[in-house]
Amino acid sequence: MIKNAIKKISRLIGNSISIPANENDETLLLSVGCMLSNQQWSMQSHNINDYEFKIFSQFGDDGIIQYLIKHIEIKNEIFIEFGTENYLESNTRFLMMHNNWSGFIMDGSSDSLNSLKNQSWFWKYDLTYKPAFIDKENINDLLESTGFSNIGLLNIDIDGNDYHILTEIDLSKLNPSIIVVEYNSTFGKDRLITVPYNKNFNRTKKHYSNLFWGASLPAIHLAASEKGYSLIGCNLAGNNAYFVRKDLLNEKVKELSIEKGYKESKFRDSRNENYSLSYIAGKERFAMIEGLEVFNIKTNHQEKL
């Protein structure tokens, strides 16, 4: 079934590939990703959403990242991503397997990360991992331990203290070309708010709905801007914001306002009190967490959502 899909895609984009009979599904997915990445060279749009495709990312982030690394300067082909779980679904895995980037990943679950050694492909790539529950006190020591500098991409996705970690990170040495940060679109596009910092924050324990986590796009935007990065867009799914170092902006990668870059998430991952999916959408999501305490980074005080 996957082989037939690849053959159809090959015909549509004008590229042909041979598919050995013993190739597994993962290799076939990489072949599709290779074709889609190559197809980007013939596209004229400067809208990052037009380049989205998914191979190992949860949504269309694989395609956005491929577009960005084609059009901005990358000094060292190195990534850091944290909040990866077992890394099977992540924003940098295609970057590693297709472009052969080196990387360092972290997650709070040692079982998830240790399972990587059981993957048949693990030996093929320069991937280092470290189990760690990230907080403001340990993040810079963890990053310093990598020995990396002037990296290509930093991806932050920890479902909680994302804003607080971003503000705490010392980027003077890492100096990433691209920063990807998850934002909570349920918080809207107007208020500069985040969940109050709690070293042991857990989104499920904080509120059963799983909707109370992270920060609004304006809050993430301010933190990134103060570190020298410009918003260049968000994925169509409305959960990842993309920032590029200001000195790397060009005709193909331009700064966007929050108003133009913001995307509202449509996925329905909310939970009932018994932790089963409730499929709440739209304004009902906000209603589930309305009244909870958030931290306003503009007023420097807590207030109600």
pLDDT in tens, the chain (305 residues): 555 555 555 555 544 444 444 446 888 999 999 999 999 999 999 999 999 999 999 999 999 999 999 999 999 999 999 999 999 999 999 999 999 999 999 999 999 999 999 999 999 999 999 999 999 999 999 999 999 999 999 999 999 999 999 999 999 999 999 999 999 999 999 999 999 999 999 999 999 999 999 999 999 999 999 999 999 999 999 999 999 999 999 999 999 999 999 999 999 999 999 999 999 999 999 999 999 999 999 999 999 99
**Phi, psi angle pair for 169, to nearest 5°:** -65, 130
Q: Which helix (H) or strand (E) holds 271?
A: none
What's the CA gap between 185 and 217, in Å, rounded?
7
Handedness of CA 31, 33, 36, 41 (dihedral sign): negative
Length of the chain equals: 305
Q: According to CATH, where is 3.40.50.150 located in the chain? A: 49-304
Q: List the beta bridge partners of residue 107.
A: 131
Amino acid in position 236: L
Which among 99, 109, 50 has a CA at the least distance from the CA of 79?
99
The per-residue pLDDT for 26 is 86
Would the pTM count as exceeding 0.95?
Answer: no
Instruction: Read off the DSSP letter of residue 128.
Output: E
Task: Judge contact between 201 and 134, C-beta under 8 A.
Answer: no
What's the CA gap between 133 and 224, in Å, rounded?
22
Can you list the alpha helix ranges (DSSP code H) found in the chain? 2-13, 25-39, 61-71, 93-99, 110-114, 139-144, 162-168, 171-174, 203-206, 217-226, 258-261, 283-289
**Phi, psi angle pair for 181, to nearest 5°:** -135, 135
The per-residue pLDDT for 10 is 52
Amino acid in position 120: S
Vertex 125 angle, CA 83 and 239, to 5°: 30
Provide the greatest CA pair distance for the chain: 62
Is domain 49-304 in CATH 3.40.50.150, yes or no? yes
What's the CA gap between 36 and 63, in Å, rounded?
8
What's the CA gap between 104 and 9, in Å, rounded?
33
